Chains A and B, each alone.
Chain A
């Protein structure tokens, strides 16, 4: 925006490659110069990924993590969106429920771990419950926010054409609030991905989070620790990109163009 010349085409490949290469080189030489025996160099990590991929552990762990997120997050979406829409639609109900929610919401989902274990024992159900909790409140809040920010003009236009309240919700309020809701969904997917790793470090014995803790505890395999971290990063990135693509769909995109 500010640089006077538009960057050329080759630059869009050149600069990122240069930074990544510089980062890897810095990492590599930092390991070499400090002569650490424990911390892996980029090459060690690459070997670590290959080993994991060969042993099939990696795929199983990725699958487990993704399954937990899919179930927990899916449940949060299915429950959170209608509840959020209703609370946004009826401010009177929201006023009653809001303070209770405001106190429950900032309880770190991770702090629920002991309670989750009482309810569900150690295993998938606990992890899924934690992910559900971590995504549920942000989704509800995003929906309330989205609905209460729909311009009153749209609602009036909808009523003018004789829509019933339910039709108004489905045909006017929901699409009008959708951009904000989607942003909320994307942010809460990020949080869910953050929490699944934590939950797996404590409450279960599979998944990428477990892989990290296990690699460290069973013989300080820090190359595998970093390899698993990278996998977490890459999958998180893919999830995020997928969501952003959804936001760019034509019928949804309108809100984002207005905001920028």
Chain B
């Protein structure tokens, strides 16, 4: 009984794959590959060592762009959130810069950094920086005043206030922000690689299509993107479950 419950999701995926197989085989001559061909495509890529190389390339860009953005945006956001005048001053500018699709920066990224890793990292950085900055501003501003009063009451120095009250208080919100942002970064890196560089999973997709319509490789690339994005999300979610950070979620 329990086992069959576990198997149902897998059976559902199986049904989807079967439907895909049947749909493709009903339209011979169509460009779309069958699941088996995709599997073979993944095997091909593995054999040539391309898959691992491209995955590493994509992850490398995301890691750098994401880490740089987090390192800069979080302290800056906490600072801006803490001083209400600073928040007032920066808010309108941020509000206009933020909704500019990071992909719209592609021409500028290429102009400044040329075609290559640096341009891609810059785009990832941009797409992470603004959401993280706004999340941290928001997080500080929503710290309940009682915590701050309590901290003052115990005579904490400003540094101790940040370390012992502010930081733990904003952590739950920040981690949610980090998870959402990492998802966006993963979305953007694929787009950036389609346009601005010549390696990575995004490039794999475009290249496979342009160089001979290898749609099996296109879909293989898509599936790898899905699997890695899923793993990244899972990793961030397990971070949310760390006990000392979790207090924010237990409440509701």
Direct interface between A and B, CB < 8 A: yes
* Residues from 187 to 207 in B contacting A, C-beta threshold 8 Å: 187-191, 194-195, 201-202, 205-206
Q: A16-B92, A103-B230, A230-B96 are in contact. Are A3 and B84 (CB under 8 A)?
A: yes
- A residues 71-116 in Cβ contact with B at 8 Å: 95-100, 102-115
Judge whether A1 and B9 touch: CB under 8 Å.
no
Q: Which residues of B contact A (CB under 8 A)?
A: 5, 8-13, 16, 30-32, 82-86, 88-93, 95-108, 111, 141-143, 145, 148, 180, 183-184, 186-191, 194-195, 201-202, 205-206, 208-209, 215, 218-219, 221-223, 225-230, 232-233, 252
Known: A11-B88, A113-B194, A118-B31. A106 touches B218 (CB 8 A): no
Chain B contact residues: over half helix, strand or loop, or mixed? helix
Q: How far is the CB of A48 from chain B (nearest CB, A)?
A: 13
Flag whether A35 is at the interface (Cβ < 8 A).
no
A31 at the B interface (CB under 8 A): no
> Residue A242 at the B interface, CB < 8 A?
no
Residue of B nearest to A19 (CB): B89
**A residues near B95, Cβ cutoff 8 Å:** 237, 240
Nearest neighbor of A109 in chain B, beta-carbon distance: B187
List the 7 closest pairs (A to B, CB-CB), nearest first.
A236-B99, A106-B229, A15-B89, A197-B101, A108-B190, A107-B226, A233-B100
Contacts of B12 in A (CB 8 A): 96-97, 99-100
- Residues of B near A193 (CB, < 8 A) are 99, 101
Q: B144: nearest residue on chain A (CB-CB)?
A: A260
A11 cross-chain contacts in B, Cβ below 8 A: 85, 88
Report if A174 contacts B (CB, 8 A). no
On chain B, the residues within 8 Å of A38 by CB distance are 111
A222 to chain B: which residues have CB within 8 Å?
Answer: 107-108, 111
Given contacts A20-B93, A97-B12, A98-B9, contact A194 B222 (CB under 8 A): no
**Contact A114:B205 (CB < 8 A) given known A2-B82, A237-B99:** yes
Q: Which residue of B lies closest to A225 (CB)?
A: B107
Distance of B217 from chain A, by nearest CB (Å): 10
Q: Are A111 and B13 in contact (CB under 8 A)?
A: no
The distance in angstroms between the C-alpha atoms of A212 and B99, with both chains bound, is: 15
Q: List 30 A-B contacts (CB under 8 A).
A: A11-B88, A16-B91, A19-B90, A95-B8, A95-B9, A98-B9, A103-B13, A105-B229, A107-B222, A108-B191, A110-B202, A111-B190, A111-B201, A111-B205, A112-B222, A114-B218, A115-B32, A118-B30, A193-B101, A198-B191, A209-B104, A215-B107, A216-B107, A222-B111, A225-B107, A230-B100, A232-B101, A237-B95, A237-B96, A240-B95
Contacts of B194 in A (CB 8 A): 110, 113, 202
Residues of the B chain whose Cβ atoms lie less than 8 Å from the Cβ of A1: 84, 141, 143, 145, 148
- C-alpha gap A111/B100 in the complex (Å): 20
Which residue from chain A places its CB closest to the CB of B84 in the assembled complex?
A3
Partner of B103, one of A100, A106, A194: A194
Query: Is B227 a contact partner of A198 (Cβ separation < 8 A)?
Result: no
The residue from A100, A115, A196, A236 contacting B100, defined by CB atoms under 8 A apart: A236
Q: How far is the CA of A6 from the CA of B138 in the complex (A)?
A: 19
Interface residues as binary, A210-248 with B (CB distance below 8 Å gives 1, 0 otherwise): 001101100000100110111011111101100000000
What is the 8 Å Cβ interface bit string for chain A, positions 171-210, against chain B (1 contact, 0 not)? Answer: 0000000000000000100110111111001100000110
Q: Is the CB of B89 within 8 A of A229?
A: no
Distance between A96 CB and nearest chain B CB, rounded to angstroms: 5
**What string of 1s and 0s marks CB contacts (under 8 Å) between A114-125 and chain B?**
110010000000
CB neighbours (8 Å) of B195 from chain A are 201-202
| Nearest CB of chain A from residue B96's CB, rounded to whole Å | 5
Taking the complex as formed, is A33 at the interface, i.e. its CB lies under 8 A from any CB of chain B? Answer: no
Given contacts A99-B9, A108-B186, A108-B188, list 6 more A-B pairs with CB under 8 A. A107-B225, A149-B252, A212-B106, A233-B98, A236-B98, A237-B96
Residue of B nearest to A260 (CB): B142
When distances are taken between beta carbons in the complex, the residues of chain B under 8 Å from A225 are 107-108
Q: Which of A12, A118, A239 has the most CB of B within 10 A?
A: A118
Contacts of A97 in B (CB 8 A): 9, 12
Contact of A190 with B215 in the complex, beta carbons under 8 Å: no
A7 to B85, CA, bound (A): 7
A111-B91 contact in complex given A39-B111, A229-B104, A233-B96, C-beta closer than 8 Å: no
**Inside 8 A of B205's CB, which chain A residues have their CB?**
111, 113-114
B202–A7 CB distance below 8 A = no
Query: How many angstroms from the CA of A12 to the CA of B184 in the assembled complex?
Result: 32
